[in-house]
Chain A
């Protein structure tokens, strides 16, 4: 139990996917203008990462021992198509949830954070439960980074930013500053 909590916190804060490992930067830059949108994007990430973890565990346990050369391609294809199917099911079953998550799902299925999670999970030899906690931590970490970024961007909206730094430039500088601040967690929970 303690081990699982460890994995969760480590993936969420210490080895934050966005701010420490620089994965999943596209939604971090692209969908972080508003706190509300960022939060929903984060939730969609949690959802897809959890599916990814399940898929990776399934493939690692039943398929890849017989065909190890298929690792990368099978991760990508299986995860992407499963998310598409789940998206269709959600659209049919719960239109409200679809409106909340739906538009983001296709955006993140081909994200590097997703493939990164599958590969990390495989390399570290996590079992099903550990993988799920890892995915949950990674997803919450992405949500944390997205929401922090969005709240900072909302406050800088009224700032007198020079033309040179407007838009993406400022976002990149804020992202770098956040990443510098998260360096303080380095080495935490490592024992």
Chain B
């Protein structure tokens, strides 16, 4: 193709530089600051858990999928996201199982990238939450311990009970708010000096990474804006009515996994609606479900379930927001 005078080629003729691997790897890159924040707050445990979950996602993708699918980076994102949503004191084999389950049951059985219904990372986490409820809700506290100390029994053998004797644990800000009605100071929440999953505590860093991705056009900004906006708008009147019972909107935004979920999981291109109107509906649905589950449900945190439930509704949203074909009156019915 050195001589450009005559190029015979099938359409499309204008090609951008963007490709799936490029987008995926830039998402991986923008997750690295979040991993860094996790390591800063939780020490080597967080890095080990994220590494184990990532290996758990990459290995089955390499073994069971077609050759070369590792290179598109989507399995790496799934693994990183699973790892970031786990408590840092979790035994490593559980993290590995979570990553592997997410990839196998969440993606490979549907035929690989682009065909799955549920977000693989969240499915892996939901599986772990159902299978190992106690380790999944044991939140380590690192008051004054050296950076190098582990957060829990990370090296427990598979299927053996982990020793929890020497680990200091405490509640997450959401748990404290829900069960003891004690709010947490906003600066601690925003910068991550609280208990919680490895990568969900540093809300400001996640926000910055997400905004960077949105500016690059690698995620649909309407989804996180709708998620966060709905959550804040629904919480505000409740908080004004009864500040002791209902937390403030800024608490809801920065506590728990809402930031990570809104920017990195709800925006998964495969499992979110295609149209922009659909994206608004999808995001608003997630926000509303998060508020309902957090404030009135039996669980302290509901972001994971909210996103999974809305994932299940995506086929409907897509159908309902199908745009009119230009020049016709009625919608195309499938």
Report the separation of the CA atoms of residues A102 and B17 in the bound assembly, to the nearest whole angstrom: 57
User: Shortest distance in angstroms between A10's beta carbon and chain B's nearest beta carbon?
Assistant: 12
Report the separation of the CA atoms of residues A152 and B318 in the bound assembly, to the nearest whole angstrom: 12
B130–A183 CB distance below 8 A? yes
Return chain A residues, CB-CB under 8 Å to B106.
177
Report the separation of the CA atoms of residues A186 and B111 in the bound assembly, to the nearest whole angstrom: 31
**At the interface, yes or no: A173 with Cβ under 8 Å from chain B?**
yes
**At the interface, yes or no: B269 with Cβ under 8 Å from chain A?**
no
Return chain A residues, CB-CB under 8 Å to B289.
184
Given contacts A180-B123, A180-B130, A181-B118, contact A188 B297 (CB under 8 A): yes
Given contacts A177-B123, A180-B130, contact A186 B109 (CB under 8 A): no
Return chain A residues, CB-CB under 8 Å to B297.
184-188
Which residue of chain B has its CB nearest to the CB of A162?
Answer: B111
Return chain A residues, CB-CB under 8 Å to B130.
180, 183
B109–A188 CB distance below 8 A? no
Contact string against B for A residues 125-139, beta-carbon threshold 8 Å, 1 for contact and 0 otherwise? 000000000000000
Contact string against B for A residues 159-176, beta-carbon threshold 8 Å, 1 for contact and 0 otherwise? 111101100011001101
A181–B311 CB distance below 8 A? yes
A165–B109 CB distance below 8 A? yes
B108–A152 CB distance below 8 A? no
A151–B127 CB distance below 8 A? no
Which residue of chain A has its CB nearest to the CB of B308?
Answer: A181
Report the separation of the CA atoms of residues A178 and B118 in the bound assembly, to the nearest whole angstrom: 9
* Segment from B141-149, B220-228, B298-306 that makes contact with A: B298-306
Report the separation of the CA atoms of residues A101 and B279 in the bound assembly, to the nearest whole angstrom: 35
Report the separation of the CA atoms of residues A181 and B130 in the bound assembly, to the nearest whole angstrom: 10
B293–A185 CB distance below 8 A? yes
Given contacts A151-B316, A160-B111, A160-B112, contact A186 B117 (CB under 8 A): no
**At the interface, yes or no: A123 with Cβ under 8 Å from chain B?**
no
**At the interface, yes or no: B312 with Cβ under 8 Å from chain A?**
yes
A161–B298 CB distance below 8 A? no
Return chain A residues, CB-CB under 8 Å to B277.
none
Report the separation of the CA atoms of residues A134 and B126 in the bound assembly, to the nearest whole angstrom: 29
Given contacts A188-B293, A188-B296, contact A182 B309 (CB under 8 A): yes
Return chain A residues, CB-CB under 8 Å to B112.
160
Report the separation of the CA atoms of residues A168 and B299 in the bound assembly, to the nearest whole angstrom: 32
**At the interface, yes or no: A155 with Cβ under 8 Å from chain B?**
yes
Report the separation of the CA atoms of residues A183 and B123 in the bound assembly, to the nearest whole angstrom: 12
Report the separation of the CA atoms of residues A29 and B137 in the bound assembly, to the nearest whole angstrom: 33
Report the separation of the CA atoms of residues A156 and B312 in the bound assembly, to the nearest whole angstrom: 12
Considering residues A159, A181, A187, which has the most beta carbons from chain B within 10 angstroms of its beta carbon? A181
Contact string against B for A residues 28-48, beta-carbon threshold 8 Å, 1 for contact and 0 otherwise? 000000000000000000000
**At the interface, yes or no: B28 with Cβ under 8 Å from chain A?**
no
A148–B312 CB distance below 8 A? yes
Which residue of chain A has its CB nearest to the CB of B306?
Answer: A184
A152–B299 CB distance below 8 A? no
Return chain B residues, CB-CB under 8 Å to A188.
292-293, 296-298
Report the separation of the CA atoms of residues A36 and B119 in the bound assembly, to the nearest whole angstrom: 26
Report the separation of the CA atoms of residues A189 and B297 in the bound assembly, to the nearest whole angstrom: 7
List which B118-138 residues lie within 8 A (CB) of chain A: 118, 123, 126-127, 129-130
Contact string against A for B residues 270-307, beta-carbon threshold 8 Å, 1 for contact and 0 otherwise? 00000000000000000001001100111100101110
Return chain B residues, CB-CB under 8 Å to A155.
117, 315
Contact string against A for B residues 30-58, beta-carbon threshold 8 Å, 1 for contact and 0 otherwise? 00000000000000000000000000000
User: Shortest distance in angstroms between A21's beta carbon and chain B's nearest beta carbon?
Assistant: 15
User: Shortest distance in angstroms between A22's beta carbon and chain B's nearest beta carbon?
Assistant: 14
**At the interface, yes or no: B115 with Cβ under 8 Å from chain A?**
yes
**At the interface, yes or no: B313 with Cβ under 8 Å from chain A?**
yes
User: Shortest distance in angstroms between A186's beta carbon and chain B's nearest beta carbon?
Assistant: 5
Return chain A residues, CB-CB under 8 Å to B118.
177, 181
A186–B105 CB distance below 8 A? no
**At the interface, yes or no: B212 with Cβ under 8 Å from chain A?**
no
Given contacts A162-B111, A173-B105, contact A189 B296 (CB under 8 A): yes
Report the separation of the CA atoms of residues A187 and B299 in the bound assembly, to the nearest whole angstrom: 7
Considering residues A165, A174, A180, A190, which has the most beta carbons from chain B within 10 angstroms of its beta carbon? A180
B117–A181 CB distance below 8 A? no
Return chain A residues, CB-CB under 8 Å to B296.
188-189
Which residue of chain A has its CB nearest to the CB of B311?
Answer: A181
- Can you show 6 pairs from A to B with CB atoms below 8 A apart? A152-B315, A156-B115, A180-B308, A181-B118, A184-B297, A187-B298
Residues of A within 8 A of B (CB): 148, 151-152, 154-156, 159-162, 164-165, 169-170, 173-174, 176-178, 180-190
